Amino acid sequence: MPAPQIQSDYADLPGVLATLFSSLLDAEPWAAFLDHLRHAAQATYATLILGPRTGAPPGLILTPGADPGIDAEYARNLFASDPFVGLPEGKVVHFRDFVSEEALRRAPEFRAFMSNLEVLGVDLHIAGRIELRLRLTRATGQHPFARDDADRLQKLVPHVRIALALFDRLATVEADQLIYAGAVAQMAIGVVTLDREGKALRVNPRAAAILAEHDGIALRHGAVTLDDSDLAHQLHVRLTADTPGDALTLRVPRPSGAGDLLMVVGRAPAADPALGGPAAVLFLTDPTHSPRITAAAVRERLGLTQGEAAVTAELAEGLATVEIAARLGISLNTVRAHLRSIFSKTGVRRQGQLVQLVHHSLPGLGRPST
């Protein structure tokens, strides 16, 4: 009895495309798209294989609805011998048109694996380093893939290519954020992102601890507030300014007498506050709990002289130039001369920028205060 004719018309193509892009933000990226695609294409399975273009085992093999053991078996024993690889980039290909009988004879385990399957596939690359393989599979009893099936899948290729580029960008940003968060955590720096109204969009654990003390600065009704009216005005002006300018460094007095907090106000990168995005980033340092930034570490990191590094370290700890001169036993003119040289070497133009540069550096600059 002949296999039933299946009309794979992708009637829900808008839904497939919507799921393609929305699935990139899911806890399991791509899964919802693959499940939607296999139903639209009347396929038994839709599989995605993602990894480096080095021949190394893939980082991701995903086949929604299949026994997880099948993907594990493929990765462990069949990936290296799979002859359905090296497809023309971006072109949908049928397995039977690409893989010869001779190639299957040289891979008996893979031949047995494919004995009851029909497969369409397409490979996409990004900058020669990432490869995505998309495979549609029909089992015995279903109608074999025809030219129309390949044509319909081909129409999805430009969209999948865009999704792959977005996925790569999202993964890169997430990795950068994790590295940055780890560095900030090790330096015990509080970080708060604010919108134009002063509302906190994100607060890291160290900042939450500082704000919870309600000692000169606090989070009230979702907004960062300062007890000192002059500092509060400076922060408001910075948040609402159309051109924020350079980083602003403020010392926040604490009524408890625990010592001033150092607060650096920098502009939020790559965001449009008018659209509700972050307007500024606050970096909060508590000298009584934070690691002390050492001159030796600053000297090594920024390539400064011993005197320049000492000035930089004290500035990063929140001291004013007059206080730095007194602590180091040098004249105010010497401090200013060091700063001019430091600015020239580091490319910054203001003291606030220099403080921000130090606090953006990789962990390892400090040692615990004694």
- What confidence tens digit (pLDDT) does each residue in 134-158 have? 999 998 777 889 999 999 999 999 9
Looking at 266, 290, 314, the residue that finishes a domain is 290
pLDDT at 136 (0 to 100):
94
Of 122, 145, 176, the position where a domain reaches its end is 176
Which residues contact residue 176 at a Cβ distance below 8 angstroms, ignoring those fewer than 6 apart?
none
What is this structure's pTM?
0.54
**152-161 residue pLDDT tens:** 999 999 999 9
> What number is the average pLDDT over the span 175-195?
65
The more confident residue out of 299 and 186 is: 299
- 61 lies in a domain? yes
Based on the domain organization, do 233 and 135 belong to the same domain?
no
Residue 8 lies in a domain: no
Q: Do 229 and 266 fall into the same domain? A: yes
Q: Dump pLDDT digits (tens) for 26-57.
A: 888 999 999 999 999 999 999 998 887 666 66
- For residue 206, the model assigns a pLDDT of 86
Domain residue limits at 354: 293-370
pLDDT at 350: 80
Residue 179 predicted with pLDDT over 60: no
Band of the pLDDT at 364, cuts 50, 70, 90?
very low
Q: What is the pLDDT of residue 115?
A: 75
Q: What is the pLDDT of residue 128?
A: 65
Q: Is residue 18 part of a domain?
A: yes
Position 225 in a domain: yes
* Placement of tokens 């606030």 in the chain: 352
Residue 8: name the closest of 149, 217, 117, 154 by CA: 149
Q: Are strands 200-203 and 190-194 parallel, antiparallel or unpaired?
A: antiparallel
Question: What does the pLDDT look like over 232-270, one tens digit per residue?
Answer: 999 988 888 776 566 788 889 999 988 888 888 887 765
Share of the chain above pLDDT 90, in %: 30
DSSP per-residue string spanning 214-231: -SSEEEETTEEEESSHHH
Final residue before a domain boundary, out of 265, 290, 315: 290
| pLDDT per residue as tens digits for the range 219-228 | 999 999 999 9
Model pLDDT, residue 362: 40
Q: In terms of domains, do 45 and 142 share one?
A: yes
Span of 182-191, 315-324, 350-359 with lowest mean pLDDT: 182-191
Q: Does 117 share its domain with 128?
A: yes
* Summary count for the chain: helices (H), strands (E): 14, 14
What value does the mean pLDDT of the chain take? 81
Alpha helices per DSSP H over 241-331: 295-302, 306-316, 321-328
pLDDT at 363 over 70: no
Question: Under a CB-based contact definition with an 8 Å cutoff, are residues 105 and 111 in contact?
Answer: yes
In a domain, 42, yes or no: yes
Residue 6 lies in a domain: no
Residues 138, 129: Cα–Cα separation, whole Å: 30
Q: What is the pLDDT of residue 154?
A: 94
CATH number at residue 305: 1.10.10.10
Query: With 60 as the cut, is the pLDDT of residue 290 above it?
Result: no
Total domains in the fold of the chain: 3
**C-alpha angle 123-48-6 in degrees, rounded to nearest 5:** 90
- Same domain? For 248 and 119 the reply is no
Exposure on the CB side of residue 234, measured as CA atoms within 13 A:
17
Residue 7 has pLDDT above 50, yes or no: no
Q: Give the range among 67-81, 176-190, 312-326 with minimum mean pLDDT.
A: 176-190
237-272 burial, b for 16+ CB within 10 Å, e for fewer? ebbeeeebeebbbbebbbeeeeebbbbbbbbbeebe
Closest CA to 167 of 199, 132, 203: 132
Query: Average pLDDT, stretch 103-122?
Result: 81
| Tokens matching residue 98 | 């690409």
Structure tokens at 256: 């408890």
Let me know if residue 166 belongs to a domain.
Answer: yes
**Domain with 265 in it: what CATH number?**
3.30.450.20
> Nearest Cα to 352, choosing from 243, 231, 249?
249
